[in-house]
Structure 1
Amino acid sequence: MGHREDLLAGARRCLLEKGFLRTTARDVVKASGTNLASIGYHYGSKDALLVQAYISLIESVGERWDPGLGGEVTQPPGSLERFQEIWGAVIRAVPEARATWLLSFELMFQDERLAEVRKLLAEAQEEGRSGLAAMFLGVPEAEVDQDTTDTEGRLYQTLLNGLMVQWLFDPETATTAEQLTEGLRRVIRGTARD
């Protein structure tokens, strides 16, 4: 690996161990075996490096349940069975991805203290919506249009964030994939009656 990859790997480790706010550039340098100048050269700033490391962590969590990347989902795209299967895979991944999800919530509540970081993360959220929509629709992400990202992608992202809050706060009472699917099934039946 080169310095760029070493920095990213070191930053990932630091984020999981210390969180975003407590990770210093020196921590990353120590964890990566590189030097301070490498951060600026390859990423521009420590915060930009940490954002890239965070995005990398989130992507690796998503790969655990994305059927297009070898995940365990087998049901046909667009079906309630697929909906349930994906949410079940998401929930099963919570224990091993707990530190990453906690990091997500640390970043969400930083208000304007990290304005540049929030801007970079907002851009990454768009990609997250597109990726979620692609996974549920069973199509390559490149085929997801902006309208689908802005509607279905936002719905799935909202469900994901709410579900993670529940599972991090109290796994014993958190919504299951079956409950989420049954709720959707009832909403669909209700709208069909209208």
Structure 2
Amino acid sequence: MGHREDLLEGAKRCLLQKGFARTTARDIVKESGTNLASIGYHYGSKDALLAQAYVELVEAMSDAFEGGPEADLPGDPGSLERFTAVWANIIGTMRDPGSLWRLSMEIVAMGDRLPEVRDHLARAQRDGARGLVTLFMGGREEDVPEETVDTLGGFYVTMLMGLMVQWSFGPQYAPEADRLAEGLRQVVEGVRKG
């Protein structure tokens, strides 16, 4: 690995150990075995490096959303069974006390103070919305129309962010996957009646 990759891996470890706000450039350099100048040369700033590291940590979690690298999600794409299975897997990632979702809450809370990071993560969130659409509905990410990213993808991201908040503040009150599926069923039933 070169300095760029070493920095990224070191930044990931620092984020998981210390969080975003408490990680310094010196922490990353120490963890990665590189030097301070490398951060600016390869990433522009410590915050940009940490944002990229965070995005890669979240992307790496996609296997867990599917139930693991060898898992085959139950139910047909778009079915209530698939909806329940995917949310059960996502919720499973939130149970760990040191989970990435706690770091996510820190970054959300800091967003207005770090516009460069916020903009980077907003673009990554859009890619995440596209990935969530294919996770629930099947297909390939490159085939998902922008309109679907904006609507269905936005719906899934909103649910994910809401769950993240609920699991961070009161896991004992946060819904399980079967409750989410029942809530969706009730919404659909209400729309049909209306």
Instruction: Give the alignment's TM-score, normalised by structure 1.
Output: 0.93
Residue 87 of structure 2 corresponds to residue 87 of structure 1: yes
RMSD: 1.7
- Per-residue deviation at 1:8? 0.7
- Per-residue deviation at 1:85? 0.5
CA distance in 2, matches of 1:99, 1:69: 19
CA gap 1:68/1:151 in 2 versus in 1, 3 angstroms: farther
Counterpart contact for 1:130–1:141, Cα < 8 Å = yes
- Per-residue deviation at 1:95? 2.7
- Per-residue deviation at 1:67? 6.5
Letter aligned with residue 104 of structure 1: S
CA gap 1:112/1:174 in 2 versus in 1, 3 angstroms: closer
2:73 aligned residue: 73
CA distance in 2, matches of 1:21, 1:104: 12
Number of residue pairs matched by the alignment: 194
CA distance in 2, matches of 1:178, 1:117: 35
Letter aligned with residue 22 of structure 2: R
CA gap 1:45/1:101 in 2 versus in 1, 3 angstroms: same
Instruction: Tell which deviates more after alignment, 64-73 or 6-15.
Output: 64-73
CA gap 1:146/1:139 in 2 versus in 1, 3 angstroms: same
Letter aligned with residue 62 of structure 2: G
CA gap 1:106/1:79 in 2 versus in 1, 3 angstroms: same
1:176 aligned residue: 176
- Per-residue deviation at 1:112? 2.9
Counterpart contact for 1:88–1:177, Cα < 8 Å = yes
Counterpart contact for 1:40–1:46, Cα < 8 Å = yes
CA gap 1:38/1:97 in 2 versus in 1, 3 angstroms: farther
SS at match of 1:109: helix
SS at match of 2:106: helix
> What CA deviation, in whole Å up to 9, does each residue of 1:148-178 have, x standing for no partner?
0000000000101111211222222210100
SS at match of 1:104: helix
- Per-residue deviation at 1:131? 1.0
Which runs of 5 or more structure 2 residues have no equivalent in the other structure?
Answer: none
Instruction: Tell which deviates more after alignment, 149-158 or 183-192.
Output: 183-192
SS at match of 2:99: helix
> What CA deviation, in whole Å up to 9, does each residue of 1:53-108 have, x standing for no partner?
00011111222113795445222101011000100111112134843111111111
Counterpart contact for 2:132–2:153, Cα < 8 Å = yes
Which runs of 5 or more structure 1 residues have no equivalent in the other structure?
Answer: none
CA distance in 2, matches of 1:23, 1:96: 21
Letter aligned with residue 54 of structure 2: Y
- Per-residue deviation at 1:52? 0.5
Counterpart contact for 1:166–1:174, Cα < 8 Å = yes
CA gap 1:138/1:39 in 2 versus in 1, 3 angstroms: same
Residue 144 of structure 2 corresponds to residue 144 of structure 1: yes
1:7-46 residue pairs with structure 2 within 5 A? 7-46=7-46
Identity of aligned residues (%): 53
Instruction: Tell which deviates more after alignment, 170-179 or 58-67.
Output: 58-67
CA distance in 2, matches of 1:98, 1:150: 31
CA distance in 1, matches of 2:47, 2:111: 15
